[in-house]
Each structure stands twice: as structure tokens, then as C-alpha cells.
Amino acid sequence: MKLDGRRESTNVDDRRGLSTGKKAGLGIGGLLLVGLITLLGGGDISSILKQFGSMSAISEQTTTTQREFTAEEQQLAKFSKQILAGTEDVWTEIFKSMGKTYTPPKMVLYTNSVQTSCGQGTSSVGPFYCSADQCLYIDLSFFTEMKSQLGADGDFAYAYVIAHEVGHHVEYLLGTLTQAHNKMSRLSKTEANKISVRLELLADFYAGVWAYHDNKRFSSLEDGDIEEAIRCAQVIGDNYLQEKARGYSQPESFTHGTSAQRMKWLKLGLTTGDMSKGNTFSLSDSEL
């Protein structure tokens, strides 16, 4: 991506190097075992954390550590701030065209674990969005793990991950996220998972919409960028991750969508930039 001269967002809370030292009880331990696969592709963690109760059971040991960041870490932080700024510019204009006001989320950079309004989050679950505090949380080491563990690399692949989380914030501002979570709370786990898939595919679509308009405005995309993001969408599909982890997949447990679905909706946003085509909630399961 071409980002030379692009501004950096100031809506950032940099907590890197700060460790709460808090150790989760059985509930969050269970979350990590279950959530490693289902959350690796990113998502709004609110409803999942709430399934494991409040954070009152977490021990109260707090430590603070400080260290020098490597040049690579600092570059990733700068890159993430530039991408967030790009989402602010694009979504402000899109919301304005819809007669709405866009309120940007805050991006929290952290190391290992972080306290959120949705509960304790850890780097093991990957980047996530918490609608309770309208923040997206990222441990930048996730991008290194994307490359080493999933073979997904490249700046636009990383940008897609950030834009996907911002996509959940867009869902929240438009009321889609709250409506979906309310409905999910009344359904069986299998049926709730189907709604979760629709939310995730919509966030993929919104990530593509952002990229379309960002490129139109800044000419930011370079040769190979789109392929990077599509490859990333492929390897964070539920079927791909489950098969990689245990040799088989269970469609009823999918929460983010298959590789084919994630690639489809990302590409739709990328090629059209048309918000009206984000209709994941009006299609049948087979049409997704």
C-alpha cells in the first residue's frame, strides 16, 4: 500500500508494554480453548466474553513493564494508525452521504492481555472489537503470527484485519450489531452462530467498501495488494482454521464464515464500494 504522507489517527490508546498481570479463572481459560479458532479471524468479542460471566473472578495481581520497541514494532504501530485514519476519513464521508454522523472508534494497542469493558481480552483471540466501549483491540504481534502460522502476509492483508474490526464498529453505529446480539441471546447456539456468520461477513464487506473508497481517494492500492487480502480472507475462514487445527470442520460451529464466503464478501465490497449491496441478513444460508 502507498501510505507516504498519510496522517496517523489520534484515536489511539497505546498500552504496549503494560501488562495487567491478571490471571483469568476457568471461564476465560475455556474461552481461549474455544475461541482460538472462532475468534482468530477477528470479531466483536462482547457477546462471547459475556457467556463466561463477569471479570470478578480474575485475580488482582497487577504489574507494569516497560521496554524499548523494535523498529518493526514501531513501524507496525505507525501503519495501524495510518490505516485507522483512513477508515475515519472514508466512513465519515459515507455516513455523511447517508445523512448520519460517524463517530470513530478508539484503537487500543496492547501486549499479551488487556482489560476491556467486555472483560479480559488476550492476544490469543486475535484482534477484536468491543461494542461496550467502542474500541478495537490489537496486539501487533498478531500480524507476525498471521505470517508464520497462516502464511498470510502483506500490508494490505494487515489493513484488512483492522478494517474488518472497524466494520464491526460501523455495524454498531448503524444498529445492526445490537439487534443481532439481542436476537442471538434468544436462540440456540447453532442458530446464534448463523447470525454471527452474517455479522462477520458484513464486516468483511465493509472492509472491502473502505478499501474501495480509500483507493479512490488516495490511490493507496498497489499491484498484489488485493491478492494479499483475499489470501488472508481465505486462511481465516472457519473451515480452513478448523481443518488446520484438527483435521476436520464442523459447519454448525462456524461463527465467521467459510473461506469462500469471506473472500466473496470482501471482494464484493472491494469491487463495488456500494453500501446497499451489504445484504448478508436478507439472504438465505445457501446464498451467503
Q: Is the C-alpha dihedral spanning 62, 66, 69, 75 positive or negative?
A: positive
**How confident is the model at residue 64, as a pLDDT?**
54
pLDDT band at 8 (very low <50, low <70, confident <90, very high): very high
Question: Are 107 and 136 spatial neighbours (Cβ–Cβ below 8 Å)?
Answer: yes
**How confident is the model at residue 13, as a pLDDT?**
97
pLDDT in tens, 136-160: 999 999 998 888 888 888 999 999 9
Tell me the pTM.
0.86
pLDDT band at 20 (very low <50, low <70, confident <90, very high): low
